[in-house]
Every structure is written in structure tokens, then in C-alpha cells.
Amino acid sequence: MKKRIALLDLLCLGLVLALIGPRAHSRQREAGRTATLPTPTLVVLAETEDPYASLADEIARTENALRLHAIEDLETVDASYVNYVASPEWLTEGKLLALSALSATTGRYPAIGIISGATMAQARALWLRGFVSGAAHTR
């Protein structure tokens, strides 16, 4: 129960940062953007040591997406969508805060999806639901 409350607090903080971030950092973003960053539509993120990293590799191959190996790597791209693949033990409050803080400091706010599950099979099933659903919408 305590972990759920902490996660809810974390999500609320992320929402607040997302709402105030664009206004607070718009001048910084414009001044700091001297070079154009690559703009892939989709980025798949999972740390190399995460047990679900192989699922991230599979997703990136299937969706022809850029594969990143650390949250900090998001500073090097200006993606529209980020799929963060993480096993439950790797999906920590600190990492979610780091994702939120990165958006606030860079001024870039991609749509971020989290792909996780009690097992890798469940995480894969979650991704496949979205993949099939997305494919149905593009036809």
C-alpha cells in the first residue's frame, strides 16, 4: 500500500512538471537549441542490464525504432514517442523521476509509454495489444 501511495505521488509530481515545464523552460529551450537533434518518431528505451532488455530489442526491431540503453540517452534525440521497457524490479520511482526531470530540463515532452509486467510474456502481450491496435487504426 505504501509503495502505491509513493507511486501515485510520483505520478502527480510528473504531471505538475509536465504542466509547468513548457512555460518555465521555453526560453531556455530556444536558447539552448543550437544544433538540430535527430527526430525519430519512436524510441524504445531499456537499460542493458534489465532482464526485459531483450524485449526492448525485439520491439525496436519490429517497429523499426531507435533503441536507447539509458534514460540520459534521451537527451540526444527529440522523439515523439518513447516506449520505456522495464521489468518490475527495474521500474523504480527514481527512474520515473529521472524521465520527468529530463523532460523539464530539455523542454521536450514526448508521449511516454511504460511496457512492463509481472513476466516478460505479460509485458510482450501488453506491447502486442498496442501494436495490433495501432496497426488497426492505420488501415
Query: pLDDT at position 111, please?
Result: 93
Spatial distance between the Cα atoms of 36 and 87, rounded to a whole number of angstroms: 33
For 18-46, how does the pLDDT look when each residue is reduced to its tens digit (9 = 90+)?
444 444 444 344 444 435 766 778 999 99
Spatial distance between the Cα atoms of 67 and 76, rounded to a whole number of angstroms: 12
Pairing of strands 111-115, 66-68: unpaired
Query: pLDDT at position 2, please?
Result: 61
For 42-91, how does the pLDDT look when each residue is reduced to its tens digit (9 = 90+)?
999 999 999 999 999 999 999 999 999 999 999 999 999 999 999 999 99
- One-letter amino acid identity for 122? Q
What Cα–Cα distance (Å) separates residue 130 from each residue in 2, 20, 67, 83, 112? 30, 29, 18, 11, 13
